[in-house]
Structure 1
Amino acid sequence: MQIRRFRAPDMRQAIRKVRDAVGPDAVILSNQRLPSGEIEIVAALDYDGSLPASLSSATAEPTRQKRQQTLHVDPALSEKVDPLEDEASLTYQQRIESARQRSTVESNVIVNENKHASTNIVDDDPKIEESLSIANTAKERQFQEMEKELREVKALLEGQKYQQNQTKVPQEQVKPEVQKVREKLKGLGISDSVSSRLLDDIDLLGREDDWNRVLAHLADHIPTRVKTSELLGCIAFMGPTGVGKTTTIGKIAAQHVLKYGNSSVVLVTTDTYRIAAHEQLRTFGRILGVPVVVVNEYSDLNDVLDKYSDYSLVLVDTAGMNPRDSNLERQLLMINRARANLKKLLVLPCTSQRQVLKTVVDVYSKVRLDGCVLSKLDESASLGEAISVIVEENLPVVYVADGQRIPDDIQPARSHNLVSRAVYVAEQYSHLYSSLKYGS
């Protein structure tokens, strides 16, 4: 067996020397740090499993010294005393205790040697220590993020389970009269959350007037503007495309002109996105004899409002945009920067689905809405969706529009009238559906 010694400033360079000189078949027998600070590696070629006598004695001597230091035994005495002969003279309990101490000492020596070797390797190459630290830190961060996500998912599932347990009542515990009223409210298009709110406040007795009491309570929950029948000042009408903003402005302006004359009304439009979008408003202005002002990139809305501040009614028509339109943010910003006395009304069509209406309210709520206008009541098959949204969002209803006739088909909102209209529409479409289904 051939043995060679290699020296280098650090462990990495020493291993590289061994690999370059001896090849992949080399076997490292030992490594140590010399007094000069260098690392010495003893490598063997054609290793047969045995160590040379010099290397074996050199390796065994430090181990024997470490064990003697751990046991606090004098080296001279340890050479004279034979452990086997000494154990023969001991009692059974003493031999057990001696074996236990010897095994503990040997394990401590092995652990200390392993720690010393790993410390040397890390000290020899600071990059290894840095890479190990980075790897451990990254793994710990990943574990912490995973634990955080699991806790969030667990909290979400527990919250959903709690809500289901709170809202879901076993079928056998629901009173027949409550279930009957709930089905009727569902037929009107009222959402489950509003129905639960109503039924929690009323104690149903199973009498004929239960349904009328529930409808009256529903009317009490609908927010409306009850100060005066007329709305004066600066009013901006907002909403998606095709909801009837311009037609609503024409109806309100015509009613005001018929009652007070055309000297105190002005129509303003900010819709410059569509081609000839302001032509309909100009037509209203020519018929009513009132001025029409277009706000574009060369003018400012506040300047126009200041110019006509002495007018009793200033109606502002805005561009109809999809809630996902990128230009909507610019228009909302312009309305937010307008004068503080500008009232913002959102026009909601009763023909839209509940989720669509709720999305529109959420988007336009950035401008602090003062109320809403319910349009297209005459085209809707159910008013319950719109009623549910305004009750859930606590958005006051100012006007209701139910046709295209100007100025007739618009009136101030009344909650009881709105509930009666919802019941009437539901009954009419129920009869229409039955006739179409059965051919009668």
Structure 2
Amino acid sequence: MSVAKFVAANGREAMRQVREAMGPDAVVLSNRTVEGGVEIVAMRDADLGSVSASAQAYVPPAPAMVVAETPAIGDLRGELQSMRALLERQLAGIGNAPTAAGHGVAASDPLRESLFEWMVGAGFSGQLARTLLARLPLGYDRPAAMTWIRKELASKVPVLGDEDHLFAQGGVLALIGPTGVGKTTTTAKLAARFVLRHGADKLALLTTDSFRIGAHEQLRIYGDILGVPVHAVKDAADLRFALAAMKDKHLVIIDTVGMSQRDRSLSEQIAMLAGVPAPVQRVLLLNGASHGDTLNEVVHAYRHDAAPDGGGIDGCIISKLDEATHLGSVLDVVIRHRLPVFYASTGQRVPEHLELASSTALVERAFLTPRRGSVFADADAARRRQAVADEQAAKGGADDVLRSLTDSADALGQCVAELNNAGLGFDLARSLWQQRTAGDTELRAMAQQVREAVCRDVNRACDQYVLALAATLPVSVPGRRTPQPLQHTLWLGDRDGTPLAATITAAGRAGQPLGEADAEAANLRAAMSAARKVVNLIDAMPSAATLARWQQAGERWLAGARKTVRVVSAGAAWKLDALADTLTFHAVGDAVVRERDAVRWLATADVRVPDSPARGKGAPEGGIDACLAVVRLVDRASGELLDTRYLLCDPALAPDAAQVARWAPWSDTAETRLRTLRHAADHFAQDADAGHAASAALAALQLGLSVLRLEHAPTATAPSFLARLAGRTVRAGAAVPGTVLNEGMGRMLALLDVLENYPGRAAAAPAVAEAADVMGALQ
């Protein structure tokens, strides 16, 4: 078998060396950028055939992993899997690296070995990592495996589901734990959260810490700020007396004295809490910056040693997350002891730096915490790394090449399947992309496909209306000295704002540079108008001419307005904010404002927007009749007013004012969405020649629409995969920008073009050379 590596200044030169050494039918296994140029790894076509003939039959992945793909991609994956399996068996005996007997993860499985190191590096114990990786489903590439591991860990971290339930049951809440873990500060944070919800008169604070200088004074200062009484107790008798005196309080929080897990007096403290007549919830504070063995010992001591019946802890709070370098250690202990996590403390500020625990957020934070590399590295881990390095060197890198290529093919197939199955219109967009060199006859058929798809989507995603967002953007046009203004329009469903269609047409009197684009856009608008009422979302009141045109077409409008805009209501002139204070508001739904749960309150009124401002006394004559909708967003928990919006809309929309209030925030992202659409039109149609500009533009718009839909409803892995293809690093959990998705989509289409030509390898060789940067992004 001949697998050879070729390095040259560029992809074309490297491919020339491949063809000279291995013939025109050589198969390219990998292509990446290295210092000094481009590196291509290739093998002879005859060797590939012999490997495929002698390899075990390709077994498709489990049903949950089966994806929709082209036959060419399936054939390619089968051959790569077979080659990888054969080489693994042939090279398994090379090297003397430890296997499962040493640490439970075979060094001959580089994927699991790297995942093991990843988990241990985040602070999780080797035992938990081995247990989890033993259950890792087959067929996953590294990104999919990492996602699976995160979800499995999150599912095993028990958290407090409802803070209101914790506070509602009242009684006594005692914070326990070692010295310096942050009990006093956390007591103040909990007290502040309770006061915000239930008031200061229902809460009292106690401290049993008579050893630490200033402990009582520190808590007393917090109590004075919150208006909550604070008392100090010395022993069990004092505690019982104090609780009896506070029986009218709904909740009493006790800040206990810090004790080492090895302190013999610990059992006395637990006994003191157990001796009170009221039920006590014991909440253990765990230092997120401590070593895992220390944390394990703390939990064991407070739960079992100090309370032999095992009833010593009801839950925990993780403190000092801002200081932790290996947060996985505390999560490992929580999972090991099945200890519910109530809150996570991220700093000293009261009460901002106390968050209700989220298992997903904690696991993500464990893997995202930056680490500079430990000088206290585990010797066993170092030996494993050296053994794996020796084994990989002995294998000569062939296994790495095949694994990388196989994993990339798996990830590509999964991405294509996600895009096809998520209702993003990607299948249609890709079909148009493949026809982008079509002539006029085919172009009309392509446009008909788009109209039919839009009509189906409108019926699926719209209840009564279809919404139109439009903006005029300057676009550089070949042969013109100045940019040409083009109108970009994006159509949304009224149910959840799903992008449904997109058009780009000439604006004003600038001519018709897009050929039949304007006529096709008019046909598309007519098709949507026939299915649903069109509502134009605009930034300010429309002009009389625009309003007349919309009224003639039976279309509606919705405009944002400033609070100082003057209108006429009931014969009197008002500013919008003054008029709003006279209206009656009703709760019409929920919303999220700056990551806070809010209630949407709505008031409406019939108004007239005058043509000119009022002069002197009395209301001005003339103007446009409109419905005023005032939307107030109020924090559900605190009652704080978070935002107020003033909307003016077509009077015909007055019966649907509650729905109109939901649409208003969608226009906030209009500029970003339309610029993403502009970027797609430029990016995907940049190489089109003049004779095929119209078909390329149509395909580019549909690809841009698919990207906007993916932004609106991200799938599990496609956004991150496209970001990788674009050469961008995106933080886990963060949204991938539309321009990055456009670039990744373009590279994926180029890669698919190469792979679909795979059976004709000789013919595909030039395409491989031109797509060197695409293949390099997958390494």
**1:209 and 2:144 aligned:** yes
Q: 2:200 aligns with which of 253, 262, 268?
A: 262
Which of residues 354, 363, 371 is equivalent to 1:429?
371
Say if 1:229 and 1:412, in contact at 8 Å, map to a contact too: no
What SS does structure 2 have at the residue aligned with 1:296?
Answer: coil
Given candidates 307, 310, 321, the residue that maps to 2:248 is 310
Counterpart in the other structure of 2:522 = none
Kept in 2: contact 1:177–1:206 (CA 8 A): no
Whether 1:372 and 2:372 are equivalent positions in the alignment is no
- 1:361 and 1:406, CA in 2 relative to 1: closer, same or farther beyond 3 A? same
- CA distance in structure 2 between the aligned counterparts of 1:223 and 1:310, rounded to whole angstroms: 32
SS of the counterpart of 2:134? helix
**Cα distance in structure 1, aligned partners of 2:250 and 2:173:** 11
String of CA shifts for 1:239-294, please: whole Å, max 9, x gaps: 01110000001011112223332111100111123334311111111111111121
Asked whether 1:387 is paired with 2:319, we answer no
Corresponding position of 2:350: 406
Residue of structure 2 in register with 1:179 after alignment: 113
**Corresponding residue for residue 279 of structure 1:** 217
Q: Report the CA distance between 1:313 and its aligned residue.
A: 2.1
CA RMSD of aligned residues (A): 2.4
Aligned mates of 1:316, 1:209 — CA distance in 2:
45
Aligned with residue 329 of structure 1, among 245, 263, 267 = 267
Contact 1:185–1:195 (CA under 8 A) maintained in structure 2: yes
1:163-213 deviation digits (Å, cap 9, x = unpaired):
x987744745x5222222111111111101211222233314242311111
Task: State the one-letter code of the partner of 1:420.
Answer: E
Conserved in 2, the CA contact under 8 Å of 1:178 and 1:204? no
Letter of the aligned partner of 1:203 in structure 2? P
Name the SS of the counterpart of 1:195 in structure 2.
helix
Taking a change above 3 Å as real, the CA distance of residues 247 and 170 of structure 1, as seen in their structure-2 partners, is closer
Aligned residue identity for 1:391: I
Give how far 1:306 is off: 3.1
> Displacement of 1:230 after TM fit?
5.6
CA distance in 2 between partners of 1:202 and 1:165 (Å): 15
> What TM-score, normalized to structure 2?
0.33
Output the CA distance in 2 between the equivalents of 1:344 and 1:320. 14
1:196 corresponds to 2:196: no
Alpha-carbon separation, structure 2, partners of 1:391 and 1:295: 34
Question: What secondary structure does 1:352 align onto?
Answer: coil
Equivalent residues of 1:267, 1:315 under 8 A apart? yes
Distance 1:170 1:324, change over 3 A: closer
Matches within 5 A, 1:24-63: none
- Aligned partners of 1:401 and 1:410 also within 8 Å: yes
State the Cα deviation string for residues 52-109 of structure 1 (Å, max 9, x = none).
xxxxxxxxxxxxxxxxxxxxxxxxxxxxxxxxxxxxxxxxxxxxxxxxxxxxxxxxxx
Please give the alpha-carbon distance, in whole angstroms, between the structure 1 residues aligned to 2:136 and 2:242.
51
Question: Per-residue CA shift, 1:385-413, capped at 9, x if unaligned?
Answer: 11111111111111100001111000111
1:225 counterpart = 2:169 = no
Output the CA distance in 2 between the equivalents of 1:283 and 1:410.
19
CA distance change for structure 1 residues 278 and 400 in 2, over 3 Å: closer, same or farther?
Answer: same
Which amino acid counterpart does residue 198 of structure 2 have in structure 1? Answer: Y
Tell me the CA shift for residue 349 of structure 1. 0.7
Q: CA 1:224/1:166 → structure 2, altered by over 3 Å: closer, same or farther?
A: farther
Query: Do the aligned partners of 1:194 and 1:391 also contact (CA within 8 Å) in 2?
Result: no
Offset of residue 307 of structure 1:
2.8
Measured in 1, the distance between the counterparts of 2:115 and 2:100 equals: 22
> Structure 2, unaligned stretches of length 5 or more?
1-98, 376-779
Work out whether residues 177 and 285 of structure 2, in 8 Å CA contact, stay in contact via their aligned partners in 1: yes
**Structure 2 CA distance, aligned partners of 1:221 and 1:310?**
38
Give the superposition deviation at 1:231: 2.4
> 2 CA distance for matches of 1:310 and 1:418?
37
Aligned residue in 1 for 2:180: 242
Q: Distance in 2 between matches of 1:297 and 1:189?
A: 39
Report which stretch shifted further, 343-352 or 283-292.
Answer: 283-292
User: Where is the helix percentage greater, Structure 1 or Structure 2?
Assistant: 1
Q: Tell me which amino acid in the other structure corresponds to 2:145.
A: D
Question: Distance in 2 between the 1:188 and 1:330 partners?
Answer: 36
Question: Which residue of structure 2 aligns with residue 10 of structure 1?
Answer: none
Alignment partner of 1:356 is 2:264: no
SS in 2 for 1:358: helix
Kept after mapping to 1: 8 A contact 2:163/2:356:
no
| Cα distance in structure 1, aligned partners of 2:100 and 2:326 | 30
Deviations 1:214-238 (A, max 9, x none): 1111111111122445622210000
Number of residues paired by the alignment?
A: 267
| Aligned counterpart, 1:344 | 282
Other-structure match for 1:119: none
Distance, in Å, in 2 between the alignment partners of 1:289 and 1:308 is: 15
1:399 is aligned with what amino acid?
Y
Q: Percent identity?
A: 37
Change (3 A) 1:204 1:375: farther
Instruction: Answer yes or no: is the 8 Å Cα contact 1:224–1:398 preserved in 2.
Output: yes
3-state SS of the aligned residue for 2:285? strand
Contact residue 376 and residue 402 of structure 1 kept, 8 A: yes
Cα distance in 2 for residues equivalent to 1:310 and 1:202? 53
Q: Secondary structure at the match of 2:317?
A: strand
Please tell me the residue identity of whatever aligns with 2:326: S
Amino acid in the other structure paired with 1:187 = G
SS at 2:197 equivalent: helix
Cα distance between partner residues in 2 of 1:223 and 1:210? 22
TM-score, normalised relative to structure 1: 0.57
Report if the CA contact (8 A) 1:402-1:409 is conserved: yes
Contact 1:271–1:317, Cα closer than 8 Å, also in 2: yes
The one-letter amino acid paired with 1:205 is G
Letter matched to residue 221 of structure 1 = K
For the Cα contact (< 8 Å) 2:105–2:116, is it kept in 1?
no
Write the letter of the residue equivalent to 1:368. G
Q: 1:406 to 1:228 in 2, by over 3 A?
A: closer
